[in-house]
Amino acid sequence: MSSLKDILSQLKLSVMNIPHIGIVDIIDILIVAYLIYIVITWIKDTRAWALFKGLFVVFSVAIIAYVFHLNTVWWILSNAISVGIIAVFVVFQPEFRRALEQIGRGNLFTSFMIFEDQREKDEAISKSTIEAIVKAVEHMSEYKTGALIVIEKDVKLGDYERTGIMIDAIVTAQLLINIFEHNTPLHDGAVIIKNNRISAATCYLPLTDSLEISKELGTRHRAALGVSEVSDAITIVVSEETGTISVTQSGSLTRNIKGEFIRTLLTDAPNKKAEKKKRVLWKGRNKHE
C-alpha cells in the first residue's frame, strides 16, 4: 500500500516538475520513436522476434519487482538481464552485423519503407495454396525432381528469405514445378511460402546437426530438419534420388508420405493469428445465437 502511495507521490512530483518542452525536444522524441519503430519492425521479420517478446516479459516482471520491492526477484532478474544483454549480442551477432551493413549501404530505411506497404496480414493457408502444393509435390515425386518447400507459420523466416531471390507470386503448381526444374537458375535451395504467396526461392536453410537422421539422407533433408528445429514451419522435401516425399515439423522428419498426408497436415495447421480470428468470429456467432 505504501509503495502505491510512493508511486503516486512520485508521479505527482514529476507532473509538477515537467520541464519546458521546446521544438528541439519534440524533434528529439520523434526521432527516437521512429528509430524504435524501425528496430521493432526489423526484428519482427527475424527469428529474434520470439526472443524479443521473452525479453519484454522479463523486463516487465523486473519493473514490477522493483516497484513493489520484491528484492529477491529484482536481484535475480537484474543480474540475469545484465548477462542476458551480452548474450543477446553474441547469439544475434549475424543479425546485428547485417543490420549495420544495411545502414552502411543506406538500405535499412528504404527497404523498410518499400516493404511496409507490401506487408500482408498473417493468413491461414488457403485451400488453393494447399492444392497447388500437393499437385506440384506429387508431380515432382513422379518425375524425381528434387524440391524443398518451406511453409512459414508464426515464426518469421525473414532471415532465410533474404538468402534467396525474392519472388512474391501466387502459389501455383506450375510455378513450383518450374522453379525446381533441373538446370534452371532457381532450382537450387529452398522455396519459402508465406501468406499464400511464394515469397522467395534459392533460400539457404540451416542444416541440422542431429545424429539421428538416416545416413542415406543428404543436405536437402538436413536443411528441412534444420529449419524445423529453429521455427514452427512445415517443410516438404522431394528426393531427387528416389522421388519419395518427406515432411519435417518441430524437429521431426516423416518419410515416405503421400499427397493426402500433406493435404491433411496443411489443412489442420492454421497459424495462431488465424486461430485467434476464428475464435473471435466464433464468439460473435455465439453472441448472435
Residues in touch with ligand ATP (CB under 6 A) = 146, 148, 188-190, 204-205, 207, 217-221, 223, 239-241
CB-CB contact of 227 with 205 (8 Å)? yes
Of 168 and 241, which CB lies nearer to ligand ATP in the complex structure?
A: 241
CB of 208 to ligand ATP, least distance (A): 10
Which residue has the closest beta carbon to ligand ATP? 218
CB of 57 to ligand ATP, least distance (A): 32
Of 92 and 180, which CB lies nearer to ligand ATP in the complex structure?
A: 180
CB of 219 to ligand ATP, least distance (A): 4
Per-residue exposure over 90-102, b if at least 16 CB sit within 10 Å of its own CB, e if not = eebeebeebbeeb
Of 77 and 158, which CB lies nearer to ligand ATP in the complex structure?
A: 158
CB of 111 to ligand ATP, least distance (A): 23
CB of 221 to ligand ATP, least distance (A): 4
Instruction: Annotate 102-132 with DSSP letters as a single string.
Output: HHHHTHHHHHHHHHHHHPPPP-PPPHHHHHH
CB-CB contact of 247 with 239 (8 Å)? no
CA distance 142 to 134: 12
Of 218 and 251, which CB lies nearer to ligand ATP in the complex structure?
A: 218
Of 43 and 205, which CB lies nearer to ligand ATP in the complex structure?
A: 205
Look at the block and give the residue holding cell 495454396: 129
Three-state DSSP at 35 gives helix
